[in-house]
């Protein structure tokens, strides 16, 4: 009989770890311009979980980015500057170009943290496109 109680106790403890809230795995479009779309892989932006930013463009061949500089900084609380490195990825067709960056957001004392994303896209002709967006992460 004691083994039954121990088994029930262990099962109760294991099931108690789930808070029952469904987490969204849907992407979130952070910003969209005539030339660019910027999306986040998970709209909830959970902390300490790998996330991915995707830059999508249908720019012509003469407007290929020479460099993409980007970072994320905390607004609610200073958490340092998170540098992002975008790499080229395969698009869905010949005119679409994708650039992806993976990153982690650190946990903070606040359950919902607001962040600022800044991106500068530099071209060989010297022009620059600037994108920025705010988003919120969560750990609950």
pLDDT exceeds cutoff 90 at 63: no
Task: Give the angle subtended at the CA of 34 by the CAs of 42 and 32, to the nearest 5°.
Answer: 20
Going by C-alpha positions, the residue among 103, 23, 96 that lies closest to residue 56 is 96
Domain 22-138: give its CATH code: 2.60.40.1930
Q: Strand 128-138 vs strand 81-84: parallel, antiparallel, or unpaired?
A: unpaired
Report the alpha-carbon distance of residue 54 to residue 39 in Å, rounded: 5
pLDDT for the residue 14: 58
Identify the band that residue 9 occupies on the pLDDT scale cut at 50, 70 and 90.
low
Confidence of residue 20 (pLDDT cuts 50, 70, 90): very low
Per-residue pLDDT averaged across 38-47, rounded?
93
CA gap 9, 7 in Å, rounded: 5
More confident residue, 80 or 71: 71
Report the C-alpha gap between 62 and 28 in whole angstroms.
Answer: 29
> Do β-strands 51-57 and 87-89 pair in parallel, antiparallel, or remain unpaired?
unpaired
Tokens 């982690």 identify what position?
A: 104
Q: What confidence tens digit (pLDDT) does each residue in 78-99 have?
A: 889 999 999 998 767 777 889 9
Q: How much is the pLDDT for 134?
A: 96
């Amino acid at each position: 009989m004691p083994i039954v109680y121990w088994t029930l106790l262990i099962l109760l403890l294991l099931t108690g770890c789930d808070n029952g809230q469904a987490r969204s795995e849907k992407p979130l479009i952070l910003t969209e311009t005539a030339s660019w779309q910027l999306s986040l892989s998970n709209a909830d932006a959970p902390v300490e979980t790998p996330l991915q930013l995707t830059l999508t463009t249908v720019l012509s061949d003469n407007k290929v980015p020479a460099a993409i500089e980007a970072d994320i900084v905390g607004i609610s609380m200073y958490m340092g500057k998170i540098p992002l490195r975008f790499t080229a990825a395969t698009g869905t067709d010949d005119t679409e170009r994708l650039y992806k960056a993976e990153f982690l957001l650190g946990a903070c004392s606040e359950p919902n943290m607001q962040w600022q994303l800044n991106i500068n896209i530099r071209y060989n002709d010297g022009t620059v496109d600037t994108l920025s967006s705010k988003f919120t992460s969560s750990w609950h």
